[in-house]
Amino acid sequence: MITIIGSTMEAASNSKQQHENNNNNNKKAIQRLHCSVKNYEWGRPCHDSLVAKIFGMNSGSQIDEDQPYAEFWIGSHVSGPSFVVSDGSQRVTLKSWLLENPNVLGEKVLEKWGGDLPFLFKVLSVDKALSIQAHPDKDLARTLHKLHPDVYKDGNHKPEMALAVTEFEALCGFVTLTEIKAVLTVPEVVELVGVENVNLVLQITDEDGEEKVKPILQTLFTEIISASKERVTVAVDRLRNRLRRESQVRQLTVQEQLVLRLEKQYPSDVGVIAAFFLNHVKLSPGEALFLGANEPHAYICGECIECMATSDNVVRAGLTPKHRDVQTLCSMLTYKQGSPEILRGVSINPYVRKYIPPFEEFEIDCGILPQGEIAVFPAVPGPSIFLVTVGEGMMNTQSPKGYPITEGDVLFVAANTEISVSSTSELHLFRAGVNSRFFQAS
């Protein structure tokens, strides 16, 4: 009898412990987050900014009508931390919470990246062009962080993807050889690069291949970006005045119209001239652009969802009043030519499209649900973060408890948690997570 009772009591104790563990896991499966905002001067006025709207609803904070609202940060980066909200009041940083609850990241993410998120999730509201910039690869990031930790705040690379929410414009990558030759008919460009360099380019043919073009393109771009402030000011002023005159008698090209817009935002800036060498990309809502390490780019206007590896490293060289590291930028670029690939997503169910860039740290799902519909996000081996931008509904796991969701809500979801979302109005939401191909490769 004693043995039987002991066994029964032990089994009951184990069952109770397992039940408590399951309850604890369920409690950790979904966490609401309050997130950070950035009021950079290129952001949109508060009344016209998705970032301002989302931040106000997410945090309950009063919006400052005199400030531009540029970026809404979701993640664990120290420059813009998110906070886990417990019982509506207590706040701990997501980074600290993950260190205390590493199992929510999943085994493979823990093994690869340790007790932290490998991705940073953002909303951007762009009213004025961002700087012409590039992000270093891992080796260069570590070197820059070691040499200049005040400027380059971490040692990680920063591949990124922008998914357009509105019409969105960007500069990205270098134009083709044919287009470069056309650029070298612009007198103000010739003035900065020199006739000798122009002649070198004109002698190259398409049969010579991209590898022969790269060193000459590097020379051209470096000559422009490195030109003295006095020479740049003269060239940009001449360009502006010439195009204004010519606009009275002919239709300016899209490229010429763009450089006039940039000149108005950044008078006498070398980026106005450099923009001639970069692809002008226009995204429609639902289209995405990904940017690898050492590729030049600049967002021009519009609103987007952005995801990247967890880093804040930026090397700038134009269209900015901030620190410019011209030598580093010109030496680090790949000088690859041609239009960038545009992603349009792959349908994973009737209401959700998945965008998978060639970077293992992240991917984005975009869900647009009509009223009264349900979408299921299958369990994945890594963490996810959901952002609601329009409407309201209910988020459910396998536990009985549901989570009401509305625009501005941000929710962390633990690894191996299936999520179903039902909409009580038209509902727009985005999910960021570790790239699916990382788990397939593992």
Q: Is the pLDDT of residue 9 over 70?
A: no
Residue with tokens 């109005």: 425
Other CB atoms within 10 Å distance of the CB of residue 217: 22
pLDDT tens string 127-149? 999 999 999 888 888 898 888 88
Residues 294 and 385 in one domain: no
Host domain of residue 258 = 147-343
Percent over 70 (pLDDT), the chain = 93
Residues 320 and 360 in one domain: no
Residues 6+ apart with CB under 8 A from 116: 76, 95, 98, 99, 105, 310
Considering the candidates 238, 240, 245, 316, report the single residue annotated as catalytic: 316
pLDDT tens string 365-392? 999 999 999 999 999 999 999 999 999 9
Residue 88: its pLDDT value, please? 56
Kindly state whether residue 233 falls inside one of the protein's structural domains.
Answer: yes
Q: Which of 69-78, 81-90, 331-340, 410-419 has the lowest mean pLDDT?
A: 81-90
Last residue of a domain, one of 288, 316, 343: 343
Residues 322 and 195 in one domain: yes
Kindly state whether residue 156 falls inside one of the protein's structural domains.
Answer: yes
CA distance 259 to 256: 5
Residues 6+ apart with CB under 8 A from 34: 58, 59, 82, 83, 85, 91, 410
Are the CB atoms for 423 and 114 separated by under 8 Å? no
Residues 318 and 396 in one domain: no
CA distance 57 to 34: 10
* Annotation says 316 is catalytic: yes
Residue 26: its pLDDT value, please? 52
Kindly state whether residue 396 falls inside one of the protein's structural domains.
Answer: yes
Residues 435 and 329 in one domain: no
**pTM for the whole structure:** 0.90
Kindly state whether residue 9 falls inside one of the protein's structural domains.
Answer: no
How many domains is the chain partitioned into structurally? 2
Last residue of a domain, one of 290, 308, 343: 343
Kindly state whether residue 24 falls inside one of the protein's structural domains.
Answer: no
CATH number at residue 90: 2.60.120.10
pLDDT tens string 299-341? 999 999 999 998 878 889 899 888 889 999 999 999 999 999 9
Residue 13: its pLDDT value, please? 44
Other CB atoms within 10 Å distance of the CB of residue 187: 11
Kindly state whether residue 71 falls inside one of the protein's structural domains.
Answer: yes
Q: Smallest Cα–Cα separation from 162: which of 366, 329, 315?
A: 366
Residues 360 and 327 in one domain: no
Burial pattern 357-377, b for ≥16 Cβ within 10 A else e, equals bebbbbbbbbbbbeeebebeb
Residues 293 and 159 in one domain: yes
Residues 110 and 161 in one domain: no
Q: Is the pLDDT of residue 93 over 90?
A: yes
Kindly state whether residue 141 falls inside one of the protein's structural domains.
Answer: no
CA distance 253 to 256: 5
